[in-house]
Structure 1
Amino acid sequence: MHVEQLFVETVIDIDQKLRCNPSEYGLLKVAGLLRPILLEKLLDDASAAAGMDAKFRVVKPGPYVPSPEQDEAWAKLLAKRPEVQRVDVAVEIRTDLLSGELHEDSQPGDHVVELGRRDFLKHAGVLVYSDYSYTVEHILRVAANSLGGIHWGPTNWEPRSEELRKHMEGDVWFGRPLPAAMMGSIGECTLRTCRPVADELTRLGLYAPESSEWVWSADGHCSVRA
């Protein structure tokens, strides 16, 4: 299969899995589909074939600034118990950082940026545990390499991803297990980047859908043949 065909059909597959209230299983399988796009060179090669420079539009968080009251409370506690390690943010979930837009609940210093694939993998702050901001890559490796997106196993070979797997174990976000819910947000962000590339490959004649499976709508997007 040519890279153009593989890329576009992978994008279609992700779109179909995210479209209709996906299950935990479906969202974890999205992680498996995202892996060649984000961790390997499928997006790079497809973008080159389309003559495009694919960018991920995300929100970069501003620096965390503790309140004076928080500083005062910690000062009092540490004076009595100096062995305690200060933690300002125990847990924070910010899927808005993947939306690509500022909202009324955005925090001071948040700003929109456009990132290449490698920098998108390093995009941090979507999940924070004990003051550590985990990256898109950490989250993807948990879902793809530990929880069944591609591989299933009790541990993850990448230390930070294994640490994150333990943190997320048992956590739920809007009724879904947290790792699966994160795959929904990362998948939607990736689709926004990949759809224009897929559309351009089709316009150039470098991709043709299987006649029995997929059709293209008048506005140039893929759908399942009825």
Structure 2
Amino acid sequence: MPKAVAARPAGDDQEATRIRVWRAAVELFAAKGFHGTGIRELADAAGLSSATLYHYMGSKDALLFAIMRSSLERLSEAAERVAVRAASPAEWIAGLVHVHVLSHALHPSETMVVDHELRALGDEHRAAAVELRDRYEGHWREAIDAGRAAGVFTAGQPTVVRLALLEMCSAVAGWYSPDGRLGLDEIAAEHARIALSALGCDPGVQAADFVTDLAQARELVAEIWQLRLPAGRH
């Protein structure tokens, strides 16, 4: 007798199932860690058999990498569009900060997985994820270098400042609450002010209108941060 094959949804149901798997993985990896989440637990959370889960996302390592890849690619896309819109290095940095803070505050589980589970990946996937991360961080490096070349930023240790700013903005995922005293726009604007100050930016530039004008950043995050699933297993 042939072995029973797990039923596979068709058409739109397949996409809905993939989204369900994705969301279950993000929440479990964020709450319990990659190594603390079992395949059966993940399949149960998605309402699937283990065999059907494998059909949609492959190995657990491949699923984690897919989450990281999607998030980092979205960050890079947003950073590229910020660079195009920015009229000055200060506006460029402010835009990067706004997008990073907003995306981390609004998608905390996904970004916490990306920020904390890199070491859980196998060697090949880890190397690819590091390359994507470095590509994104390169946008921050370029903005800071442009500001230093223009004499707008005077920080003596730009690499240290860049890494510190990224850590500061990423930390929002762990503490932001929509019920808090400050609104998200205020939080993002304050982070931009701190970033510009840390870079040695003139106080007059720090007070520019673009620091608190978050409309473009909100629109960008709303457009780009829609769930994007990989075409297949990796």
TM-score range, shorter chain: under 0.3
TM-score normalized with structure 2 length? 0.27
Higher helix share: 2
TM-score normalized with structure 1 length? 0.28
Higher strand share: 1
